[in-house]
Structure 1
Amino acid sequence: MIRLLTNVELYAPQYLGIKHVLMADSKIAAIFPPDALPELGPFIQVIDLKGDRLVPGFVDGLVHYCGGGGEGGFANRTPELLANEAAKAGVTTVVGALGTDSLTRTLSNLLGKCRELQAQGLSAYFYSGSYHIPLKTLTGSLESDLMFIPEILGVGELALSDHRASVLTLNDLVEIGKKTKTYASLAGKKGVIFCHLGDSPEQLSLLRDVIAHSDLTHQHFIPTHCNRNPDLFEDALQYGLEGGYIDFTTSTTQGLLDDGEVLSARAIKLALDAGIDPRLITLSSDANASLPRFDQHGNTVGVEAGRISSLFASVKQAHEQYAVPFDIALSCITQNPASALGLSSKGSIQEGADADLVVLSPDTLDIKTVWSKGQIIHECRTSLY
Structure 2
Amino acid sequence: MVTLIKNGELYVPDYIGTKSVLIIGDKIIKIGDINEEKLLGLGLDVQVIDATGSIVLPGMIDPHVHLMGGGGEGGFATRTPEMQLSEITKSGITTVVGCIGTDGTTRHMTTLLAKARGLEEEGITTYIYTGNYHVPTPTITSSVKDDVILIDKVIGAGEIAISDSRSAQPSLHEIAKLAAEARIGGLLSNKAGVTHFHVGIGKDRLSFLHRILEDYEIPPSNIYATHITRSRELLDDAIALSNKGAFVDITADHETGEWITYFKENGGNMEQLTISSDGNGSLPKFNDEGQLVGYGVASPQTLFSQVVSAIRENRLAISEVLSLVTRNTANALRLDQKGLLKEKSDADILILDKETLDIEHVFSRGKHMIRDKEVMVKGTFEK
Residues 93-104 of structure 1 mapped to structure 2, 5 A cutoff: 93-104=95-106
Structure 1 Cα separation of the partners of residues 125 and 22 of structure 2: 21
Q: Alpha-carbon deviation of 1:301?
A: 0.6
Give the corresponding residue for 1:366: 358
| Shift in Å, 1:304 | 0.1
TM-score, normalised relative to structure 2: 0.94
Q: TM-score with structure 1 length normalisation? A: 0.93
One-letter amino acid of the counterpart of residue 248, structure 1: I
Confirm whether residue 201 of structure 1 aligns to residue 193 of structure 2.
Answer: no
Instruction: Determine whether 1:323 maps to 2:310.
Output: no
The aligned counterpart of 2:43 is: 42
Deviations 1:51-74 (A, max 9, x none): 311101110000001000011211
Question: Which residue in the other structure is 2:61 paired with?
Answer: 59
Equivalent in the alignment of 2:324: 332
Unaligned runs of 5+ in 2: 377-383
Task: Compute the displacement of 1:166 (Å).
Answer: 1.3
Task: Return closer, same or farther for 1:297/1:380 CA change in 2, 3 Å cut-off.
Answer: farther
1:182 and 2:181 correspond: no
For residue 351 of structure 1, what is the aligned residue in structure 2? 343
Distance apart, 1:382 and its partner CA: 7.0
TM-superposed deviation, 1:39: 3.4
Q: Distance in 2 between matches of 1:183 and 1:74?
A: 34
Deviates more, 1:369-378 or 1:164-173: 164-173
Contact 1:18 1:51 in 2 (8 A): no
* Pairing 1:1-385 to 2, within 5 Å after superposition: 1-33=1-33, 39-40=38-39, 41-43=42-44, 44-251=46-253, 263-381=255-373
Runs of 5+ consecutive residues of structure 1 not aligned to the other structure: 253-262
Paired amino acid for 2:182: T
Structure-1 residue corresponding to 2:381: none
- Report how far residue 320 of structure 1 moved: 1.1
CA contact 1:251–1:307 (8 Å) conserved in 2: no
Q: Is the CA contact (8 Å cut-off) linking 2:310 and 2:316 kept in structure 1?
A: yes
SS for the counterpart of 1:304 is coil
Worse overlay, 373-382 or 285-294: 373-382
Kept in 1, the 8 Å contact 2:5–2:22? The answer is yes
**Aligned equivalents of 2:52 and 2:73: distance in 1?**
49
Q: Percent identity?
A: 36
TM-fit CA distance, 1:383: 12
Separation of aligned partners in 1, 2:19 and 2:333: 28
Shift in Å at residue 381 of structure 1? 4.0
Distance 1:321 1:117 in 2: 33
CA distance, structure 2, for counterparts of residue 147 and residue 307 of structure 1: 31
User: One-letter code of the match for 1:16?
Assistant: I
State how far apart, in whole Å, the 2-side matches of 1:58 and 1:383 are.
Answer: 17
- Determine the C-alpha separation between the residues in 2 that align with 1:113 and 1:245: 26
Q: Counterpart of 1:55 in 2: which secondary structure?
A: strand
Cα-to-partner distance string for 1:175-232 (whole Å, 9 max, x where unaligned) = 1122111112211212110100001111111001111112212201110000012221
State the number of aligned residues: 373
What does residue 260 of structure 1 align with? Answer: none
Query: How far apart, CA to CA, are the structure 1 residues paired with 2:266 and 2:256?
Result: 15
Give distance in 1, aligned partners of 2:276 and 2:9.
Answer: 25
